Structure 1
């Protein structure tokens, strides 16, 4: 079931003014330049509809596609399109979660990290140093980012742009984790924890990792 931040925002005590503000035009330009200098492809789009259209155009026919959980992907309509839309992709996500056996599903989930295209989001973006920061309890969402997947597409609202890596890690701990912990309790009845954190400072393979920056508030 798709959940948005608004579904449980009343149960989370965070500083939204500090951690969910949009960057100025100059700050967004700085973020783009820094991310590109770090080896990331960057696409800035106006809204969720344009973000989904870009993803649809980017992934070629016949590609295998996997993703980790992402409120942002749900909000732009990607999950609905992946599972029900008119495309010719190999939906690894659907295949994995159609498996009833826990051990077999876990094995397939690990293998799906090597998808042609792995999609997700990040918890924060350092505009000054072009750094991406994300964390998971299990690592299933971020495991593909550093190496396993052939291509990575991360979609993030500009509300995730902060000053630098230190601020990005602080946003993860003080803001994003609080929402993810509440989501996990609502969805699974268990608490979450940012036990496996990725600091993605540079992409060495040209064209491998694309950051889609959406000029809206999306995810957390």
Structure 2
């Protein structure tokens, strides 16, 4: 199926649009400082095009690359870039979805959690520097805490909220509504935030980079 954006589902969900409000300059600055103090590298960029440039520059030739589903990655053009093959990376996602056997494909998906570079997004970013994300199977957030060698997370500043409680509320009351609609259209099943990650600190220097885009992206 063709790639989808949040706008494709906006008429099918009943959500509070305030969850997409942007932080003030001072709030964003404090969030960046707290993310860095928590061990995350941070890049703040102005738009989706610049975000894609950062990702491409971060991944070296020959690296194995995997991405969990992310509307944000689709919106900045990363999925198209990865699929077009205009790079020297090992595209693990393409390898996985070329496997016909269900058991073999599941095994490959698990192995891909340890990619050299795993890319994704989060559903909420607390101003104290905590990241919050969830998915149904864990195939996305499973790589975040440890498995992936390097982690690149891209998020619009619309995901920055006051605290962890608000980040989790944004996940359950806002992001889940969109993901549930997407899952039903893409897979014919409902989604659920059954495996939730609260990511407070990165202990390995240089492992995790958060790219904050000064636009409204994803959910």
Unaligned segments of structure 1, at least 5 residues? none
CA offsets per residue over residues 97-124 of structure 1, 9 Å max, x none?
1111111000000000000000000000
Give the Cα–Cα distance (whole angstroms) in 2 for the partners of residues 85 and 213 of structure 1: 25
- Normalised TM-score (structure 2): 0.99
Give the Cα–Cα distance (whole angstroms) in 2 for the partners of residues 39 and 197 of structure 1: 20
- Normalised TM-score (structure 1): 0.98
TM-fit CA distance, 1:85: 3.8
TM-fit CA distance, 1:188: 1.2
Give the Cα–Cα distance (whole angstroms) in 2 for the partners of residues 34 and 98 of structure 1: 41
Q: How does 1:136-155 map to 2 (within 5 A)?
A: 136-155=135-154
Unaligned segments of structure 2, at least 5 residues? none
Q: How does 1:106-185 map to 2 (within 5 A)?
A: 106-127=106-127, 129-185=128-184
Give the Cα–Cα distance (whole angstroms) in 1 for the partners of residues 14 and 160 of structure 2: 20
Q: Aligned to 2:36, what secondary structure does the other structure show?
A: helix
Q: Aligned to 1:148, what secondary structure does the other structure show?
A: coil
Map of 1:14 onto structure 2: 15
Q: How does 1:56-67 map to 2 (within 5 A)?
A: 56-67=56-67
Give the Cα–Cα distance (whole angstroms) in 2 for the partners of residues 87 and 38 of structure 1: 32
TM-fit CA distance, 1:130: 0.5
Where does structure 1 differ by over 4 angstroms across 4 or more consecutive aligned residues? none
TM-fit CA distance, 1:183: 0.6
The RMSD of aligned alpha carbons is 0.6
Give the Cα–Cα distance (whole angstroms) in 2 for the partners of residues 60 and 120 of structure 1: 17
